[in-house]
Structure 1
Amino acid sequence: MAIIVGISGCLLGQQVRFDGGHKRFKFADEELSDYFEFKPVCPEVGIGMTIPRPVIRLLDNSIDIRLVDSKDNTLDYTDKMNAFTDNVLPSLETLCGYIVCAKSPSCGMERVKLYLDNGHSVPGGSVGIYTKRLMQKMPWLPIEEDGRLCDPVLRENFVFRVYALNDLYESIKGEDGITRNKLMNFHARYKLALMANHPATYRKLGQLLAKSHQWSDINAFFVEYRQLLMDGLKHRSNCKTNTNVLLHIQGYFKRNLDKQQKAELRDVIMRYREGNLPLIAPLTLINHHLSLNPNEYLSKQAYLAPYPEALKLRYSL
Structure 2
Amino acid sequence: MNLNLNNSKILLDYLTDNSNDPIVTLTEDFKIKEYNKAFERLVDDPHNMKSTFFEETFGKISASPEKHTDESHNIKEISASYRSKSGSVTHLQGILIKKNNEIVIIFKNFMICESQIIDEISKMNIEMSNLARELSKKNFQLKLANEKITKLLNTDFLTGLYNRKCFFERLEELVSLKKRKRCFNIGVIFADIDFFKSINDTYGHDTGDFVLIKFSQMLKESLRKEDIVARIGGEEFCIIVQCTEDNFLVNISEKIRKNCELLIFENTDIKITASFGATFYREWEEIDCVIKRADENMYAAKSSGRNKVIFSP
TM-score by length of 2: 0.21
- Which one has more relative contact order, counting CA pairs under 8 Å at least 6 apart? 1
More strand by share: 2
Higher-Rg member (1/2): 2
TM-score by length of 1: 0.21
More helix by share: 1
